[in-house]
A = this chain, B = another copy of it.
Amino acid sequence: MSRTYTGKEIAEHSSRESCWIIVHGKVYDVTEFLPEHPGGSKIILKYAGKDATAEYDPIHPPNAITDNLPPEKHLGSVDLTTVEKVEVVITDEEKARQQRIAQRPPLTEVLNLHDFEAIARQVMPEKAWAYYSSAADDEITIRENHAAYHRVWFRPRILRNVTHVDWSTKILGLPSKMPVYITATALGKLGHPDGELNLTRAAAKHGVIQMIPTLASCSFDELVDAAVPGQAQFLQLYVNSDREITKKFVQHAEKRGIKGLFITVDAPQLGRREKDMRMKFEAEDPAEVTDNKQQDRVDRSQGAARAISSFIDTGLDWKDIPWFQSITTMPIILKGVQCWEDALLAYDAGLAGVVLSNHGGRQLEFSRSGIETLVEVVTKLKEKRGLAFPNEKFQLFVDGGVRRASDVLKAIALGATAVGVGRPFLYAFSSYGQDGVEHALQILHDEFEMNMRLLGARTISEIVPEMVDASSIHQHIVSVPTDNLYFSNYESMQSARLREIKPKM
């Protein structure tokens, strides 16, 4: 069934009735798939009979098309020299963005992880920014994730010789230069052509561990191949409804040397990320959106996130845990635990740990932050099973909202082994590629050194619970709404003002 086509042959199939496209030098017949495309038929039709690779790459995992199209639609190869280049029209908006890219400040002016976000917001394509920055429903949880850290305050110790401070640690037994790992985030090529490879390479240089996402833009093997000898990597797993696919993937990962399997358990269905969904409408002619309603069989209004996740198994259950334990010897960690009851079940099931996480605020709105859940998990697992944390046998991780080494140290003091950081690294490579990620890690390095000294802790083991006051962590305060009439009548006080000097005539 496989032969080599010419550009001209393919160009004849450029209509809704017969629609062929080229991706990475292969030809596919997507006519029947058009109405099912989660991203809408319109965008495919734009490339009907043409090479769609450049458009396809950043928003699909590499094997998306081969996995989703039946084999008989894989028509064959194409002689790329015969294909007419798709003329890329550079919009005014894109030109302005290119201008902003040219104006990025030098990395030396980037002083903290917030800066990467401020820059990324200006230099990323709007759609990519929307995908990375959006979160569930009213986006309260994503903000709470960061805010929760501000309810924890330090009780630092003084007069300890802090000339030498060491914030290296072990994560699942593997050395890490800091109690931080790069957590899994999808679709890296939206931000940078090298996608997640930026993370792999920077992680190698700085001695931290990267968690490879199932939904990476780069293929799993590319990311493993890019690791230097001895560089540890973890795998984040979305479990496929077809367990054989999952089994193959997990066992392949173990064979390739992956050191830990993080099964995502907070996403049986992906959350509504309305900023991302809204972006779609902006990009199309509103009139057609309405008309298309009849023609497409799939709800296209769900944004990039859902488009790529339909394979995820909604049926995953505690009963599946022994099966995972039977197919791999990697330590298994549940990613997305949100209450102590499930942390206890994970412990009792013999797992290696849990990530206390609400998926960066992208799944269930009003799920509590990881740092808040950590406090109850530590309390209850001590009460129920006599565990002390941090604990080598059953490790607690948190992620979400971390922007400073001080955030990380709060989590460590409260019992976490390490903390996952995601978006800041995305923003770093979206702005500066691998250099950005390295600089981000260097900033964390500098902050750890300073904060360890100021806390009076020479090693991670000296970061103890007494060093923080987390007594306000469970407060979910919403102020009584303002009395606008009263306060609009109130006239603010003013400071002394400079004298006005009247010009002389």
Where the two chains meet, the residues of A that have a C-beta atom closer than 8 Å to any C-beta of B are 100, 102-106, 108-112, 114-115, 117-119, 121-122, 133, 137-140, 143-144, 146-148, 150-163, 265-269, 271-272, 274-275, 277-278, 281, 286, 289-290, 293, 301, 314-318, 320-321, 334, 336-339, 341-342, 345, 363-368, 403-404, 406, 410, 446-447, 449-451, 453-455, 466, 469, 471-472, 474-501
Contacts and interface: CB of A to CB of B under 8 A. Distances in A.
A358 B477 CA distance: 21
Nearest to A313: B163
Nearest to A266: B158
Contacts of A109: 278, 281, 286, 289, 301, 496
A478 B478 contact: no
Count copies of this chain in the complex.
4
A147 B490 CA distance: 12
B286 A155 contact: no
A151 B478 contact: yes
B339 A155 contact: yes
Main secondary structure of the interface of A (DSSP, over half): loop
A492 to B, nearest CB: 5
B157 A341 contact: yes
Contacts of A275: 491, 493
Given A140-B481, A158-B342, A274-B493, 4 more contacts: A105-B286, A105-B497, A155-B339, A159-B317
A137 B342 contact: no
**9 smallest A-B Cβ distances: which pairs?**
A118-B495, A143-B481, A364-B454, A106-B290, A114-B485, A103-B498, A115-B496, A158-B265, A155-B339
Contacts of A483: 138, 140, 146-147, 150
A493 B159 contact: no
Nearest to A338: B156
Contacts of A480: 140, 144, 147, 150-151, 476-478
Given A478-B479, A483-B140, A156 B266 contact: yes
Contacts of A475: 472, 475, 477
Contact of A137 (B289, B338, B406, B487): B406
A338 B265 CA distance: 40
A95 to B, nearest CB: 14
A147 B479 CA distance: 8
A271 B454 contact: yes
A356 to B, nearest CB: 11
A139 B493 contact: yes
A139 B111 CA distance: 14
Contact of A158 (B105, B334, B493): B334
A164 to B, nearest CB: 9
Nearest to A104: B498
Contact of A501 (B103, B110, B162, B487): B103
A489 B446 CA distance: 23
Contacts of A321: 159
Given A272-B450, A453-B269, A162 B314 contact: yes
B493 A138 contact: yes
Nearest to A492: B484
A448 B101 CA distance: 42
Given A143-B490, A158-B334, A493-B485, A498 B265 contact: no
A155 B338 contact: yes
Contacts of A158: 265-266, 334, 336-338, 342
A314 B161 contact: yes
B269 A454 contact: yes
Contacts of A301: 108-109, 111
A483 B493 CA distance: 9
A142 to B, nearest CB: 8
Contacts of A499: 103-105, 286
13 contacts: A108-B301, A117-B495, A138-B493, A146-B486, A150-B483, A154-B364, A155-B341, A156-B339, A269-B453, A274-B493, A366-B410, A478-B480, A489-B495
A366 B152 contact: yes
Nearest to A143: B481
A150 B476 CA distance: 8
Contacts of A492: 484, 488
A316 B501 CA distance: 48
